Structure 1
């Protein structure tokens, strides 16, 4: 079991900022490293990622340890803790070793000799080494899994109540790789899982291919008392609806804020971004999500939407995000932060940091080359 605390400190405090991986937390910690030390160690000791499958903290925390010149002893001690804590400490030490820390490298080498979780740590270390030496990954594309079947037969599979759910999911995957099939639209309400709690896998992608064609039906789906169908309808309206759908999308975003549903509003934010300044009424709400969400993976979507809406304070938001825990947020900030000595200094830092993601390093290099040429 992960050692995790769900009671996040307010986002206006240093503990809350560090727990969320916000750039402002790194800036505030630098003002008093000694006072921030225990908070940084605590963010390694305890699991603060909202979704540890996608949220990132390791690079953020490794940078704090390095830039604040914090002793590594308390992190090395965490290698002897439970598996989840051990692995968080190991990931931070791996990055510091990549940066050239002999102490971090020696601690990892010692641990993999006889540590309780040595095999997991060794696998993680070897994976990081291979990634450091490998070229940047290419975007994965999915092939049609049923090229021998025409779309009409796939739709017939979806309409047949006796076809197993996994077979229907494969049919939906195939349709998502093909030209739009409007005949899918009336079938959508029947394509929930048997327990009624969610949609079948790949349904969202197959519907997204339909684009604006699905909007009239999506307006009805959005009013459904089945959460999965209502959610799908809202996603379609956010991604493909017109200005008349803005109130519906805004109402859902407000509902998610009140309920503190941190997973999913990024999709609504991206939809609002399509409308630019016409969705300016959403700026305050989007800013609240950007400031407060513990689900850091979604933060870049709020940042991008705020920029598209022409919200006030974006220069400060982009500058802060140069220190964000999420690579997507840093990448956006590298491209949009206002020019100036401090921004150039940070861009050089990102360009030259061996711990940084290759895409961010390259973007920083290109940006600096452009402003100094």
Structure 2
């Protein structure tokens, strides 16, 4: 998938793509047709750079509910001819998650769409997982014929059925189908096959394994890199070395880390860094400018190192305007002391100037600013908060602003009550100043919303003075 195209942060579309609280507030004040068009564009073309750490579905579902938006656009997207050609979950996953939340809010049209797509769509497993949380037993039982028909009654089809059952996040539909008098025998057989396959995998793990010597492990790592397609085995090889390498192998490993083949060198670097070897920092400095495989291993190894020696070397490297300097600054952001505040702030400013508010590694530096309480960093944190397209990074910036910016409670904290990220809403529920009339109203909405996360509702109750129900 290509990186999404993100609109400027000052536009309604840009705000909604970012999942900012101001996106909801602006959409509710905008012409309904324009707001719905921007919302639909976000849902049908997932704007997240990393869907594993960024939330959007509840945020968009709430706005659909507020605007009383129709679902024709989502229906056309789900059942478009592309669904037959493109089975990438990212094409339909966000739309299905939004439908799941809308079904939870009582939208029967959303529930109908999920049922239809589970029966006919390419990403049926995702739709079934959403239904498992919201649909009744009768609705789930009615899907058994359509879902099971996807798997022909052949050895290959039965194997695919067992695999689908194994990969399901929610098992409720499968348990219901296992009790069905018509389909139960086949589902129970798939469950038994799944259990047997798991036992076989535990008994006879698949995949190549290294021999039990330091030389064999290093060779195994290099063989993976030399294969086609390449297999990056340096990290697992370092873990294998922990089982086979002793003090007598130190010189062999130092030699490999200094001048061995790429993957062997990377594995030795990782192992020596994990053991906090006295010479490894010099080896990391030399390896930081090697091949991509060696450089990545060196910088990742530095990030895992502990102790005074690693901190002192990171202080010496942090001013460098290269990958090693950036990695060193991240070490100081995570483990540095008050005297390292200037180095971390300088690194953050350099990174934002060079690569913008979506730069790789930005979140670690932002969190370090908050941890060290660097008050003069508030202007750059505000810039990151407004401009980043990552709701995860924005949440880090909000937490850092809560520590460094005295105006946070009367400013960004209010907007954060409508943010797409649970942790950001929780922070706002604890910090937002109640002088603004919108704050108490939104706190009450969050308290009454059955889809809101428990941590947010706990924070809300604390602000409203209500006792948690037992």
**When the two structures are superposed, what TM-score results if normalisation uses the length of structure 1?**
0.79
Aligned to 1:40: 39
Q: Is the 8 A contact 1:280 1:310 kept in 2?
A: yes
Task: Choose the corresponding residue for 2:428, options 316, 320, 333.
Answer: 333
Q: Is the 8 A contact 1:158 1:191 kept in 2?
A: no
How far the C-alpha of 1:18 sits from its partner, in A, is 0.9
Counterparts in 2 of 1:240 and 1:118: CA distance versus 1, 3 Å: closer
Task: Choose the corresponding residue for 2:128, options 101, 122, 129.
Answer: 122
Question: How big is the alpha-carbon RMSD for the aligned residues of Structure 1 and Structure 2?
Answer: 3.5
Task: Choose the corresponding residue for 2:311, options 210, 215, 218.
Answer: 215
How far the C-alpha of 1:332 sits from its partner, in A, is 1.1
Aligned to 1:142: none
Aligned to 1:367: 463
How far the C-alpha of 1:172 sits from its partner, in A, is 7.3
How far the C-alpha of 1:223 sits from its partner, in A, is 4.5
Any residues of structure 2 matched to 1:182-193 within 5 Å, and which?
185-189=281-285
Residue 291, structure 1, aligned to residue 391, structure 2: no
**Deviates most, 258-267 or 99-108:** 258-267
Residue 317, structure 1, aligned to residue 417, structure 2: no
Task: Choose the corresponding residue for 1:266, options 355, 359, 363.
Answer: 363
Q: Give the count of matched residue pairs.
A: 351
Give the Cα separation in 2 of the matches to 1:157 and 1:109. 61
Give per-residue Cα distances to partners, 1:62-85, cap 9 Å, x unaligned: 111112211122222221244433
Give the Cα separation in 2 of the matches to 1:319 and 1:329. 11
Give the Cα separation in 1 of the matches to 2:302 and 2:53. 20
**Deviates most, 45-54 or 238-247:** 238-247
Counterparts in 2 of 1:171 and 1:93: CA distance versus 1, 3 Å: same
Aligned to 1:77: 76
**When the two structures are superposed, what TM-score results if normalisation uses the length of structure 2?**
0.65
SS of 1:198 mapped into structure 2:
helix
How far the C-alpha of 1:293 sits from its partner, in A, is 0.5
Give the Cα separation in 2 of the matches to 1:286 and 1:101. 39
**Deviates most, 294-303 or 351-360:** 351-360
Aligned to 2:113: 107
Larger-gyration structure (1/2): 2
SS of 1:250 mapped into structure 2:
helix
Give the Cα separation in 2 of the matches to 1:170 and 1:128. 46
Give the Cα separation in 1 of the matches to 2:255 and 2:446. 54
Aligned to 2:447: 351
5+ long unaligned stretches in structure 2: 83-87, 136-168, 173-238
**Deviates most, 36-45 or 98-107:** 98-107
Task: Choose the corresponding residue for 1:199, options 297, 303, 306.
Answer: 297
Give per-residue Cα distances to partners, 1:235-277, cap 9 Å, x unaligned: 122233345543432332222222215132221122222332x
